[in-house]
Every structure is written in C-alpha cells, then in structure tokens.
Structure 1
C-alpha cells in the first residue's frame, strides 16, 4: 500500500494491482481501478517513485524466478482509468534475478533516500542452512536468501548491495524520518512451541549487519500477549545450533557480530508493515504532536498457535496496542477473528490507512478531539 498526494492508494491482490482513487482528498475514494489486465503474475510488494510504480511478482515459465516490474506514468493511468498489458512500452521488467520461491517469497520493497530500491529476500523454509547451494530456486542471479538487498533500478545489471543478512522473513521496511536508519520487521520461526521464539523489530545501523537467523533467535520478557520493552535475551536455535555448537549466540552478540532486535514483539505475532508517524501543524485529520515519530507496527497474527495472538497495530517505543479488535481478546482459535491487518500508511491529511489482507478491506483512522 502506497500513496501520493491525497489522491491515490496502490494495492495488490493475488492476481491484480489496483489504484484506489480519491480525487478531492476527502478520505472517501470515488473508484477503484484495476491497473494491469495482463502481464504480472502474483504481484505482491509495491513501491512508488515519482510517476512510476514498481511491483514485485513471479514468473513460472521455464525457470521459476522473481521479478520487479516498472509501471511508468502510473498516475495518469489511474486518473484516466487506463490499464497496462504485457508488451506496453510503459510496462517493463527491472530485474528477473530474484528467487522464485513462494515460501516466504512475498517481497516488501521500498526506496531509500538515494533512490535505490530495497528488496527483502525471505528464507524458503521454516529454518535451514542459508548457505546450502541446493536451497530453493535461486532465480537467475543467486541473490542471497534471508537478506535485505539494495538495487539500482536505473542501472539494470549493476552490483547488488547487502543491507542486512540473517533475516528469516521480513515483510516490512521503514526509514526513520530524521536519521534515515532502516527499521524492519522479521517473522520468527515455527515449531519451537507456543512462546518461542519472538518476532522482531530491528534497526540497521550499518550495511551488512547479521541479525542471527538461522542459528540465533530471541526470547522476549514479560507476557506473550504484550512483551516488555526491549530485545529480550538471545537464544540458540535448538535445531541447527543446539548448545551453541555452530555459534555461541551470546558471545556473537557481545562481540558485535550478531545484532539483537530493538524490540521483541512476541511469539508468532507475524509483524508486517510499519510506519513512522510524521506530524505537522497543517494536518487536517492528524494526531496530536505527541504522536510525532511514533512507530506503528502491523501484526497479522498467528496461524498455528493454540491461543491466537496478534492481529492488531502496535505503537512503539512503549510497545502498546494502538488498534485492536480484529481478534477476540481470549480467542481459542482463528475462527474468532474477522480480519488480518497487513500494512499501514499515513495520508497527507495526517490520517492513517490500514490494509487487511483477509477481508480485502482498507481502514482509515482519524483523530477526534483536541490536537495538542
């Protein structure tokens, strides 16, 4: 989900890319337009730069591979209700070098301040050795699994830069509006029980940092429903690193070779999109100034935990629930929910929109009352 001005949101579905058009910026879209009628297989991550929309997708013909498409002049297509189709000059492939695995293959993409595209490449497994040469499909370029990389979309074929590694499955990227440091979510592995390990909120302070997967993970402190602020404690993975036989994770952290999260988010909560709130006095539907630089993190929620958890929007640094209600408080199974939030975006008027990939709904959150 992305926005430009007050007029358009972009969203994807299993087979389509849509523009949600609000011409007069009143928070009520006039229409939803299907942007692509042919050519893009399973669009997922999207990123907007200028008048071009970039879309991560797949190609199944021949070798399975991941692609990133570029849709030029996208605003006029949305406003004039024009659609792209394969073969159009303004629908082109930026790269087809991404792995084609569907397990953790849905990508989050985002531009940095230099106009380079950050791309997540999930591990094609629950837990596995990322250096195994037989792992996954590899695509055409053998880009590293379990990583976040940086691509220059204006120079196809140029060197790929490592941003972070040891990342199991990140589906959310955000830059701090002041420092431009990268924050990202990561989904912890399964099959270690109801309460281990924690999903993570991470911060990259230098390119190429290792965040531990698959050998190291984290266990938060406090209750599983809402962890105490902080990273929790580092633990060795019981399957690949029992007893620290491959890596002594505590020592790796102390010596700076593995980086812990800034917040342990709880077990199996599945954090996805995240967004820093940017306050200004001109926001007509904005929150009070006290919310400025608050980080909102969307949690899609668990799928295999006996008592479901997550399905909410959290605010950080205090790590408090911000929007709840998708999941009944004491739900005993996933049938006791009516949606799964996926991503969050701030509109130019200061309101927030939250996408739900279960009910195919976009919610808008506005502030009521005094904005002081």
Structure 2
C-alpha cells in the first residue's frame, strides 16, 4: 500500500507561525505570503494519520524514548547514540534499543558491530538485531544489499520508512529507546515528532562541537524543539579539547570562539549535560564495532560519558517516574 505523503515545509516559517498542529494553520495573519501557507492548511484538512494511534499502542511497552539530535552533521551524533545505548545496557536488568532513522547515512550498524546483519520478520513484526541480549538495534542499513548502496529516496518514502519502523518493529518490553536522527530539522524530524506525539517522549539530547559553525545549526535545532514542544534534556559538547597522552597538554582542536556549548546553553536556558574530550580511540572503537567503555574504561572520555548518561537517567526518572515503577 502506498504511503500518503505529509506536507513538507519549504522555507523557514515566520516567527509568529502557529504551526501545523494549530487550528489556525494556513489561516493566521502570519501565514499570509508564507510559501508554506497551502501546505500547512492542507495538513489540517487531511486529518490525523491513523498510524499515530497504532504507534501509540505499539509504544506502550517502551518506558523511555530519547531522541538524539543535532542541526549539524559530523558532530558525533551516531557515536553518542551508540555509547549512550552501551552505557545504559551495562545494567543487565535494563532492556535498551536503538532506532537508526538516518535513512540516507545509516552508521549505527557499523558502530555497533552489526554490519552485514539482516532483519527477520515474525508474526509480531520485524525483529531487531541484537548486540547483546538486552541491546537491540533497528536500522535501514540492515535492509540494504551492501553498505555502499545509496538510499535515493524522496521525503514521502523516508517518512514511510520511519512510520514502519515505529509501528512494525517488535521491540518487546524496553526501558530505553534511543532514536538516532539525521542532521537538520526537516522531514524525518517532523515525522518522528508527529508519530510519537501521543507516546510521551522524554525529550531530546542535542549534540554539538565547540566551534561557532556547529553552534549556529544547533541553535536552530533547539528552536525546532521548542516549536514542536519537544523537551530538551540537554546539550552534549562533543570533541571538547584534546589532551596529548604523552605531554598531557590540552589543545583545542575546535576552538570555542563564541564560548562553546556552555555559553550557548546559558543564553538559551537549556542544560549542558557535559563535555566529551576528543579521543582517537573512540573513532577506532566505532570502526571496529566495539564499545569504547569496555576497551578503555578509565579514560577521561569514558568518565565524561558515564556522567552524562547518569544525568540523562536522572532526568528520565524525575520527569516520568511512573514509567520506572514495577508492576
């Protein structure tokens, strides 16, 4: 069955934009002259997608849902998603899952050591591919014939794939679902928020690097979260300085010319979860599909990761304590 394409915004909306969820979408004064006016109006007349209720039912077995976002590519978002999952899964009493919705650049299979694996279908839906008994993964990378195959899809087909992942994957009982997203604030992000709108998302972790060229796009991502009412758990500054293992001198590979993530978080009133120093062993572990935590447990980067993961867990427990109660 062909997927019905949702409207996609084609330009930056005005500051007073009521949003596609509003009854005033396409009708408000701010909509006059906006290139998205027709699209927003048609979104209201089309009615809610029935998949939203189906996904709500499917997600009843998932306690906490965390989106990993960044407006900028190349900041280590997938690396952070993988290590967040590895860190949470170290508690064998917790069931953790990673959903990779970076349709055109799925890196999670490689980072998690699952390259070449395939998805299997059962009577209850698609079965995730497991790294450990308590750590499952789903990615479009498992559906490709080769890791070098290009996914050349338009927005509607990508959105349909995201819908299918959320509706048809049989996660079972899951404590944490980590959703790794592509860069930007476009179709995939709007689809995720729309389809998960009724499922109580815990929030978004936003990843950046210290330099202003990354922070510019990350500010847009934070504004996107505010616009679609997605809570911001906090910001992680990745590749935050490099300490030479021989001379112990610290160098700023990506100089924070405007104050880095810390200054940005202060200005935008969002939490800074922590800073992860640049460590070549992280990239090596990802290329080999290993957990960096198990290889170098006492490195500054590992300690920083663990502190950030603890803050995320504390946030989830504080904001959705009912999800952690035993039946």
Scaled to the shorter chain, the TM-score interval is under 0.3
Higher relative contact order (CA closer than 8 Å, sequence separation 6+): 2
Structure with bigger strand share is: 1
Structure with bigger helix share is: 2
Normalised to the residue count of structure 1, the TM-score between the two structures is: 0.25
Normalised to the residue count of structure 2, the TM-score between the two structures is: 0.27
